Chains A and B, each alone.
Chain A
Amino acid sequence: MVVSAAGERAFVEYDHVQKSYDGETLVVKDLNLSIGKGEFLTMLGPSGSGKTTCLMMLAGFETATHGEIRLDGREINNIPPHKRGIGMVFQNYALFPHMTIAENLAFPLEVRKMDKTERETKVQRALDMVEMGSFGGRRPSQLSGGQQQRVALARALVFEPSLVLMDEPLGALDKQLRETMQFEIKHIADNLGITVVYVTHDQTEALTMSDRVAVFEDGRIQQLAAPDELYEQPCNSFVAQFIGENNTLEGVVESIHGGVALVKLDSGDLIDTVPVNVNRAGERTRVSIRPERVETDATRLGPDAHTLKAEVLEFIYMGDTFRTRLRVAGTDDFIVKTRNAPDRARLQPGQTIDIGWMPEDCRALDA
Chain B
Amino acid sequence: MTEHERYEVNFFRPISQHAKANKKLISTLAIIWAVAVFGFHFLLIIITTPTPEQTLINFNSVWQQVVEDSSATHEMKQVFAKSLLMVLGKNIAVKEEHKSVLKESLSWSVYRMQADSIKPFYKTEPNSETIKGAIASIGLSAEGFDKIMRDLLPSSLVKVENSALSEKSKKALPEIMELYLIHNQSFLTDFKFLGFPFHYWYTAQFLLILFVLLCLTYAVLIDRMNREYEFIEET
Query: Are these two chains actual partners, yes or no?
Result: no
Interface residues of B, Cβ cutoff 8 Å to A: none
Interface residues of A, Cβ cutoff 8 Å to B: none
